[in-house]
């Protein structure tokens, strides 16, 4: 099956008891067992649930992976990934990852003995220099949040294999419609399905997809032992959203390209970060490994004061956390998504006080641009 067909049908057979086309929401905590040691494949919903299973199979199919494991949030999925390791292990992480990833690494997991180095994975020489004898994992975000930098997936996978590291890619911004890291040799993919996969800003969830049996076994045990799993209703909402992923992503990409080009010609904007622009440092790489450039753009309006004036004036664009919904969302990374990152590190990574991030929705392009233009007039 091709992508759009898989998005609609993978993991979702008609319900055998009723013929229902849509996967039912199995709102149950437990399941009757036929006799000791014999059940219908389900025992307790912390361990597994049919609605969650359908979502896990669906996203695994989209990423061309063997197994999917759904968690209560994207951060719960990332936490489970990092907990594949042991105290004393070292992880190389992309330097300008989502602020929540930085926060859990530095303020939670380092307290339990894991070691992290944040490096610019856009250049492989930085990755090579960062490796230590105790390095066990490389965790890459591409495109990065919020500066839209691109790392070479094939090179990362080759390096990881050569040094027996687990390679992980946060594929939230690109989605499997635009980029499938497992096809480049990456070991595991993580998503905040809250974003583009669901696409409607009405649920929270995360998923890990992998084809490595030992990773699947450890993560399944983590789901059972820790219990940070996705609810059946959230899984159902995400399944519903994924059915339109392909058509939504096409519009997100088309609109974002148009808006990024428009922004790049505005004199009040210092810089525009969008991999679809030819002046983007990794434009050629993005064109090579992605099927499109996505719906995320960031741009610098020069100062915090200008950002405040601009963001106070937006009307159609909603000033809010998160991204990937059908509606256009706009945010200020330095004080919102990346507030937990020290200011010196933010500045070094390009997350300036004047940087604004926009998740381009699927409204009419003319209306989005009109709103951005009237807001820019406040500067």
Catalytic residues: 46, 98, 170, 195
Tell me if 193 sits within 8 A of 207, measured CB to CB.
yes
> What is the sign, positive or negative, of the torsion defined by CA atoms of 108, 111, 114, 118?
positive
How many Cβ atoms from other residues are within 10 Å of residue 224's Cβ? 13
3-state class percentages of the chain: helix first, strand second, coil last, to nearest 5: 40, 15, 45
How far is 63 from 177, CA to CA, in rounded Å? 8
CA distances from 16 to 5, 20, 21, 40, 220 (A): 21, 8, 10, 13, 26
Residue 68 has phi, psi (to 5 degrees) of -120, 150
CA distances from 233 to 15, 72, 139 (A): 16, 11, 30
Extract the tokens encoding 207.
């998923």
- The DSSP bridge partners found for residue 188 are 168, 210
Extract the tokens encoding 307.
């950002």
Residue found by looking up tokens 């790489």 in the block: 285
Tell me if 92 sits within 8 A of 132, measured CB to CB.
no
- Distance, C-alpha 43 to centroid of its chain: 31
- For residue 132, give the DSSP letter: -
CA distances from 170 to 62, 231, 356 (A): 15, 22, 21
- Distance, C-alpha 4 to centroid of its chain: 20
3-state secondary structure (DSSP) of residue 183: helix
Residue found by looking up tokens 């933010």 in the block: 346
Extract the tokens encoding 270.
């210092």
């Amino acid at each position: 099956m091709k992508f759009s067909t898989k998005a609609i049908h993978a993991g979702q057979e008609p319900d055998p008891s009723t013929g229902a086309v849509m996967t039912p929401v199995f709102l149950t905590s437990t399941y009757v067992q036929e006799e000791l040691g014999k059940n219908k494949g389900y025992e307790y919903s912390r361990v597994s649930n049919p609605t969650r299973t359908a979502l896990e199979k669906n996203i695994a199919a989209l990423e061309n992976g063997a197994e999917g494991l759904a968690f209560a949030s994207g951060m719960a999925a990332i936490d489970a990934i990092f907990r594949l390791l042991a105290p004393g292990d070292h992880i190389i992480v992309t330097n300008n990852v989502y602020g929540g990833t930085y926060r859990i690494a530095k303020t939670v997991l380092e307290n339990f003995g894991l070691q992290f180095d944040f490096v610019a994975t856009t250049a492989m020489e930085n990755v090579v220099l960062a490796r230590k004898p105790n390095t066990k994992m490389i965790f890459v975000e591409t495109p990065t949040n919020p500066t839209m930098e691109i790392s070479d997936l094939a090179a990362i996978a080759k390096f990881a294999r050569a040094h027996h590291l687990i390679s992980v890619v946060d594929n939230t911004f690109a989605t499997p419609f635009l980029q499938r890291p497992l096809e480049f040799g990456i070991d595991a993919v993580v998503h905040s399905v809250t974003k583009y996969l669901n696409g409607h800003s009405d649920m929270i969830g995360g998923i890990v997809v992998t084809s490595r049996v030992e990773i699947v076994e450890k993560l399944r045990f983590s789901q059972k032992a820790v219990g940070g799993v996705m609810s059946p209703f959230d899984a159902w909402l995400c399944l519903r959203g994924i059915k339109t992923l392909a058509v939504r992503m096409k519009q997100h990409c088309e609109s974002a390209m148009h808006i990024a080009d428009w922004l790049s010609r505005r004199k009040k904007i210092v810089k525009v970060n969008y991999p679809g622009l030819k002046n983007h440092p990794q434009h050629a790489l993005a064109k090579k490994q992605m099927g499109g450039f996505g719906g995320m753009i960031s741009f610098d309006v020069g100062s915090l004061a200008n950002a405040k004036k601009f963001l106070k004036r937006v009307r159609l664009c909603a000033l809010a956390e998160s991204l990937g919904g059908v509606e256009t969302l706009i945010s200020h990374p330095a004080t919102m998504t990346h507030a937990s990152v020290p200011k010196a590190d933010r500045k070094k990574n390009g997350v300036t006080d004047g940087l604004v991030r926009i998740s381009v929705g699927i409204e009419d392009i003319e209306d989005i641009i009109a709103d951005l233009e009237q807001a820019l007039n406040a500067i």
